[in-house]
Amino acid sequence: MDRASIRATTAPSSSASSNGAAIGYNYSETFDDDSDYASGFDSYPSSLVSSETHTCSRSLNGRRYLSRRQVRDPSPGRACSGTVDYSFPHDEEEEVRLDLIHRVWTLALEGKMFKAPITGPLNKILDVGTGTGLWAIDVAEYITPSPPPPPPFFPLRMESPILGSLDDPNQLLTYERRYPDAHVFGTDIAPSKLSWAPPNLDMQLEDIEEDWVFPENSFDLIHIRSMAGFVTDWPRLLAQSLTALKPGGYLEFHDFSSPFECEDGSLAPSSTLTLWVKTWEEGAVLSGRSWITVGPGMPAMMRAVGFEGVVSEEFKVCTTGAKPRDVRLREMSMCMLRQFLDGAEGITLDMFIRVLGWDKKDVEDLVAKVRRELLNPDVNTFTRGHIVYGQKPLW
């Protein structure tokens, strides 16, 4: 994407300041003052993480990022020697965005953790790139408030889909194992920041693009979610997953592809949202980590490494414009919009400045205009969720 063409769309408006304030935005027209999305939202996921700063991270452009090689030397007090090559930040603001994505998937699957038709016992489960760890916790220990029984979908004013409501601090909790025999492993390049985890959950510091430490034939289920844009060699990752699965075990992949598809012509090809995504994907390709094509291409990649019975499903989530009337679909849409609004700066800064060579001021202007277009009620866009699962052969 030519920088001049996208810069032409990001000239500051008369109301935008010439400094960082240009990134500011207002939710008032989209999120009602008394809605769960506007009031009390900021407290939703933060209680599950501490404010502890990791010893191997760097602050760039006001955000914290990880080096892929930092996992090789996590010793306290040692400086990172690796290159900061992940363009998504690793800080509390990003954790809020990731927990919103978890919420979208929980709603999309209607409370299920996976779609693979597993009928036997689940003894070992691996969550690859576990992030904030909510999926791993939900699988390891399902906690429900009692009485009364929980609603089918937890509102965002609750701290977590697994911890119940905070409206009544004296409310009792009933603990029950969703999968009573399961031992769950969550791996990530970043040390876990969870302040609590079930006893059957182990968080491990691993770079999943290196050789895996798990023995062959270990897992009944491997779950990979929201890793598009982070992996340089998908065939190798899938092949290692196949090796680590038990015969008959399943790999399940969840991710989104292009975030702003439009079927009614309301999003112009020259719009800031379109140019933002195209330019970001160009940077991802330069970094060796394609993003948009991973979900649609996953079934073929899984079959190529040896998975059998590969099933692919898609669903739509509205991102901008008109919202569905269905309560569940509407909440999915609102969460998706909110994570783009909150995450636009973090998603853009490193990729556009470090990889593509933009000036920070140009990025601030771009982010301000992206947020304005995200709130345009006349632009109707959606993203596609991809659910793909396949089985390791029994022989």
Question: pLDDT at position 111, please?
Answer: 86
C-alpha 356/C-alpha 351 separation (Å) is 6
Q: What is the separation of C-alpha 268 from the centre of its chain, rounded to a whole number of angstroms?
A: 27
- For residues 150 and 90, the answer to whether their CB atoms sit within 8 Å is no
C-alpha 177/C-alpha 168 separation (Å) is 23
C-alpha 344/C-alpha 141 separation (Å) is 32
Tell me the sheet residues that pair with 313: 387
Helix (H, G, I), strand (E, B) or coil at 235: helix
Q: Tell me, what amino acid is at 270? A: S
- pTM as predicted: 0.77
For residue 14, which phi and psi values (nearest 5 degrees)? -65, -25
- The total number of residues written for the chain in this structure: 395
Question: pLDDT at position 177, please?
Answer: 62
Within 10 Å of residue 310's Cβ, how many Cβ atoms?
17
Tell me the sheet residues that pair with 194: 49
Burial of 202 (0-12, 13-18, 19+ CB in 10 A): middle
Question: pLDDT at position 361, please?
Answer: 93
- For residues 383 and 265, the answer to whether their CB atoms sit within 8 Å is no
Q: Which of 220, 211, 215 is nearest to 247 (CA)?
A: 220
For residue 345, which phi and psi values (nearest 5 degrees)? -65, -50
C-alpha 213/C-alpha 215 separation (Å) is 7
C-alpha 146/C-alpha 158 separation (Å) is 15
Question: pLDDT at position 255, please?
Answer: 96
Residue 215: asked if its preceding bond is cis (omega within 30°), the reply is no
3-state helix, strand and coil shares in percent for the chain, rounded to the nearest 5: 30, 20, 50
Q: What is the pLDDT along the chain (395 residues), one digit of tens a residue?
A: 555 555 555 443 333 333 333 333 343 333 444 333 333 323 222 222 233 333 356 677 777 777 655 434 434 444 444 443 667 777 788 889 999 999 999 999 998 999 999 988 899 999 999 988 999 999 987 543 333 444 444 333 333 333 333 334 444 444 456 677 789 999 998 877 788 888 899 999 888 989 999 999 999 999 999 998 888 899 999 999 999 999 999 999 999 999 999 999 999 999 999 999 999 989 888 887 877 789 999 999 999 999 999 999 999 999 999 899 999 999 999 999 999 999 999 889 888 988 899 999 999 999 999 999 999 999 999 999 999 999 999 98
Domain residue ranges in the chain: 3-391
C-alpha 37/C-alpha 35 separation (Å) is 5
Check whether domain 3-391 has CATH 3.40.50.150, yes or no: yes
Helix (H, G, I), strand (E, B) or coil at 203: strand
DSSP string, 291-313: -TTHHHHHHHHHHHHT-EEEEEE
Q: Tell me, what amino acid is at 340? A: F
Question: pLDDT at position 355, please?
Answer: 87
Q: What is the separation of C-alpha 66 from the centre of its chain, rounded to a whole number of angstroms?
A: 16
- For residues 177 and 201, the answer to whether their CB atoms sit within 8 Å is no
